[in-house]
Structure 1
Amino acid sequence: MHAMNARRLLYALAALSVLWLGWAMLQPPPPLPDHGQPGAAGYRLAGHTITPLEPFQLEARVLGREDYRFDRGAQVSPTDLALGWGPMADPQVLARIAISQGNRWYRWRVEEFPIPRREIETHSANMHLIPANAAVADALAAVRPGQRIALRGQLVEVKGDDGFRWLSSRTREDTGDGACELIWVEQLSRLD
């Protein structure tokens, strides 16, 4: 009888752990504080120095969204958006492309190319977003796949006080590891 009670307790604890993890993953990311203007060394955020590299702005369609809580980058960038512009914002083209996200990557797959491969590669990207203030964080929390958005900010380099380093791509000609944009988002709005 005692072994049965211990087993029930173990099952109950396991079920509670799964429920807690599921609940935690469904919660929106916590809002980030306002950060003010950049100083000589850039912005400071949660033990990181964020250095602007160059201005960035884009109008695009949201191809996918992935929120992060537990990876190292989540301390500064809680959300990635896969974005498409030009031919990759066309719903007829997108209907023929399967899109997924995970582990800070954006992936696409086609049965048959609706546009040349290189156009897919140079007109879409996974972008790691760092909200510059609470208003941007709120706007980002409301963004959903399929929407058209405009964003403006800075491509940045992030250096953590612990040695962590994350650097934005500065070209749309690259693909693969290191090709994502890391953006300090100063303004974000929906276009539709």
Structure 2
Amino acid sequence: MKKLLWIFLLFAAGYIFFKGNNAAMPSGVIVPEMPTQSTVNLPAPFPFRNYTLTPLAHMELRARVLSTKRYATGREAELSPLDMALGWGRMSDSSVLDKIRISQSGRWYRWKTDHFPIPRREMETHSSNMHLIPADERVEASMLAVRKDDIIQIRGFLVRADAADGWRWISSLTREDTGQGACELIFVTSLTRE
């Protein structure tokens, strides 16, 4: 009997941990503001690990976490160990998100729905897959602690990453694009959870 109780408790703790706080999220837009970016007073390119990062825009955003995906292999993982699918506007509304299935793999964010709860274009422009480069170990620890349905704030730079052998990874500079190259590559200097 004790063994069954322990199994139940472990299952319950795991469910609470991985489920996040979705059950506590009310319906309605939680994050009304759009991400902002600016090209004023950008720093010069700088070395980071074995790459040169060129800031393309200052980036600030507040968003609901729709999904997270860790990466440990591949060249991109040397810079960005984590992708987050993030939503704002009606893509932060539980009554909308309850009708969408979200997944991430291969550095892509995908969604599926049987009936569009909001127009498709709004889903595309009010959510995005963000490749996150932590500026330091403190930021990386904050990133890795984030869970689905958290509300987070990110500050940093949209960047281009260049390697000496010619390899390059470039951030999108708009929330209006979709498909290949539409993800943001963010050098994250600050990440906080609300």
Task: Bin the TM-score by the shorter chain.
Answer: 0.7 to 0.9
2:175 counterpart residue number? 172
**Deviation, structure 1 residue 162:** 2.1
**SS of the residue aligned with 2:90?**
helix
Query: Cα offset for 1:46?
Result: 2.1
The question of 1:159 aligning with 2:162 is answered yes
Q: Determine if contact 2:59/2:156 at 8 Å carries over to the other structure.
A: yes
Distance of 1:169 and 1:39 partners within structure 2 = 18
Find the aligned partners of 1:129 and 1:57 in 2 and give their Cα distance.
Answer: 13
Task: Give 1:184 shift.
Answer: 0.5
Q: Per the alignment, do residues 161 and 145 of structure 1 end up closer, same or farther by CA in structure 2, a change over 3 Å counting?
A: same
Residue 133 of structure 2 aligns with an amino acid whose one-letter code is I
1:189 aligned counterpart, secondary structure: strand
* 1:128 corresponds to 2:131: yes
- What secondary structure sits across from 2:63 in the alignment? strand
Alignment of 1:37-48 (within 5 A): 40=44, 42-48=45-51
1:74 shift after superposition:
0.5
Alpha-carbon distance in structure 2 between the residues aligned to 1:113 and 1:49? 41
**Out of 103, 107, 117, which is 1:100 matched to?**
103
Q: Deviations over 1:122-180 (max 9, x none)?
A: 00000000001121111001001111101011000000122210000000110000000
Alignment gaps of 5+ in structure 2: 1-41
CA contact (8 A) 2:156 2:190 kept: yes
Q: How does 1:19-168 map to 2 (within 5 A)?
A: 40=44, 42-168=45-171
Identity of aligned residues (%): 54
Cα distance in 2 for partners of 1:123, 1:39 equals: 28
| Structure 2 SS opposite 1:153 | strand
Matched to 1:122, the amino acid is T
* Structure 2 equivalent of residue 33 of structure 1: none
Aligned partner of 2:97: which letter? Answer: L
Larger Rg: 1
Structure 2 Cα separation of the partners of residues 189 and 84 of structure 1: 16
Q: Which residue identity does 2:114 align to in structure 1?
A: E
> How many residue pairs were aligned?
153
Give the TM-score normalised by structure 1: 0.77
Q: Aligned partners of 1:43 and 1:81: how far apart in 2?
A: 24
Q: Hey, what's the Cα distance between the residues in 1 that align with 2:159 and 2:128? A: 16
Which segments of 5 or more consecutive residues in structure 1 lack a partner in the other structure?
1-37
